[in-house]
Amino acid sequence: MERVTALATEIRAPAATNRRLLAAGALIAFGLVDILIFGLFSHPGDAAFALSLSGASITVPTIRVASWVVYIFGVLSILIGIARATVMTSPGLRRLAIAVVLFFFVISLLIWSDTGSWTHGIPVNIVTLLQATLAGSIPLILGALAGCMGERAGVINIAIEGQLLMGAFVAAILASTVGLWVGLIGSSLAGGLVGLVLAAFAINFFVDQIILGVVLNLLISGITGFLYDRLMVTNAQTYNTGNTFSAVKIPGLGDIPIIGPIFFDSTIILYITYAAIILVQVGLFSTRWGLRVRAVGEHPTAADTVGINVLAIRYRNLVLGGLLAGIGGAYLTIGSVGTFGKDISSGLGYIALAAMIFGRWTPLGATAAALLFGFTTALGNFLGTITVPISPALLGMAPYVATIVAVAGLVGRVRAPAADGKPYVRA
């Protein structure tokens, strides 16, 4: 064991200097892009940011920003990069530096895209953009929470993608034949069922969890695709009507300018997501149950010794996580577009996995990462609609590149629960 650990540390630790310079270089590169691309190639005039939706009861005035502001952002980013290489030592400060530089980058990008001729003087509506971000993040957040639940208990869940897809399918078919609420509950149960199968094969039959997740995803893609062709295509009026939940505005909160329409005027699924984030975060880190789960994920032998039922905890967590991911899948059909399509989850489960890793296996971190990934998607869609000459593909890669950078230890270090992925056998 010692030798393995020694090997691991030797391979894992890139020289601290290298990492410092790389991180600083990345920050400076963002600053240079701000200046050289968004600054030099900008168009004269101001960028406008609208902060309220049309028809809102309280309107917030539109903010106008001159295009030279991006130079300030660029210079600040470069200064932060230099500071990162020289004086910055506390991890919190380093993370803040990344956040600030990314924020400057996004704002510069928006200023640049709005001062151009592409928007025809129409302001960028920040509220719409953030609404789309939050809605698009729902399946990512719920999927990432499912991942956290499993991996904190020591079982790798790659089948998030399958859970989303199964949830989406069951939600669509039940909402079409029985009713919306039945669809929502059914989707949750379907996700839980996938979690149960995952648990059975991983825990009882010791199947490698990564293999298992991939195979389950393929299997679910096959089953839903088959039933889609068999039932939904031939009989869309019966099985795929496109029933959706409508938005519920929370009285009072929903009328607050800016915040209201973003956070408190959406479908029930968003509110479930809020509850799920809080429950999983508090549950994992502030309750006896959470302590047990984490003990099982870090050191199952020790947990077993003090009388914790390792296998039961793993089973329960995978099923509970599946219930959440299933709801995330329901968002894809009855929460947004209504109708099911083949492979509608389109890799969102894998982004959710990335978000969980990026968020360092914590519910809040995963949520933040999911929001970040959701934002890049929303931004990509937005830039696509105003035909800015940036390929949406470049923004589309951002979450994945960021995750590779994170696991390669270039920005901080991510570490999985110690017993993650290892089947537990009582000695």
Q: Which two tokens stand for residue 162?
A: 């399958």
Residue 1 engages another protein in binding (rule: CB under 8 A)? yes
Tell the smallest beta-carbon distance from residue 395 to another protein (Å). 9
Q: Which is nearer to another protein, 114 or 420 (CB)?
A: 420
Q: Rule CB under 8 A: say whether 423 interacts with another protein.
A: yes
What is the closest distance, in whole angstroms, from the C-beta atom of residue 334 to another protein in the complex?
Answer: 22
Q: What is the total count of residues that contact another protein (CB under 8 A)?
A: 72
CB of 128 or CB of 346, closer to another protein: 346
Strands 124-125 and 46-50: parallel
Cβ-contact 325, 160 below 8 angstroms: yes
The dihedral built from the CA positions of residue 368, 262, 337 and 322, taken in this order, carries a sign that is positive
Site for another protein in 301-330 (CB under 8 A): 301
- What is the nearest approach in angstroms of another protein to the Cβ of residue 305? 12
First-to-final CA distance of the chain: 17
Query: Contact between 178 and another protein (CB under 8 A)?
Result: no
Let me know: does 356 contact 280? Beta carbons within 8 Å: no
197 to 216, contacts with another protein by CB under 8 A? Answer: 201, 204-212, 214-216
SS3 299: coil
Supply the minimum distance, in Å, between the C-beta of residue 398 and another protein: 9
Nearer to another protein, 63 or 223 (CB): 223
If one asks whether residue 58 binds another protein (CB under 8 A), the answer comes out as: no
Q: Which of residues 65-94 bind another protein (CB under 8 A)?
A: none
Q: Are 140 and 374 in contact (CB under 8 A)?
A: yes
Q: Which of residues 393-412 bind another protein (CB under 8 A)?
A: 393-394, 396-397, 400-401, 403-404, 407-410
Q: Are 297 and 153 in contact (CB under 8 A)?
A: yes
- Residue nearer to another protein on the CB measure, 8 or 99: 8
Q: Which residue is it, tokens 């149950």?
A: 289
Give min distance, CB of 36 to another protein, in A. 21
Cα(162)–Cα(139) distance, integer angstroms? 12
Q: Taking CB under 8 A as the rule, does residue 391 contact another protein?
A: yes
CB count within 10 Å of CB 72 equals 14
As a residue count, the chain comes to: 427
Task: Provide the mask over 214-233, with x wherever binding to another protein is found by CB under 8 A and - wherever it is not.
Answer: xxx-xxxxxx-xxxxxxx--
The closest of 70, 62, 68, 42 to 126, measured between CA atoms, is: 62
- Least distance (Å) between residue 208 CB and another protein: 5
Residues 154 and 314: their CA atoms lie apart, in Å, by: 7
Site string for another protein, 332-361 (x = CB under 8 A): ---------------x--xx-xx--x----
Tell me whether residue 91 is exposed, middle or buried, using C-beta atoms within 10 angstroms of its C-beta: 0 to 12, 13 to 18, 19 or more.
exposed
According to CB under 8 A, which residues from 262 to 301 bind another protein?
Answer: 300-301
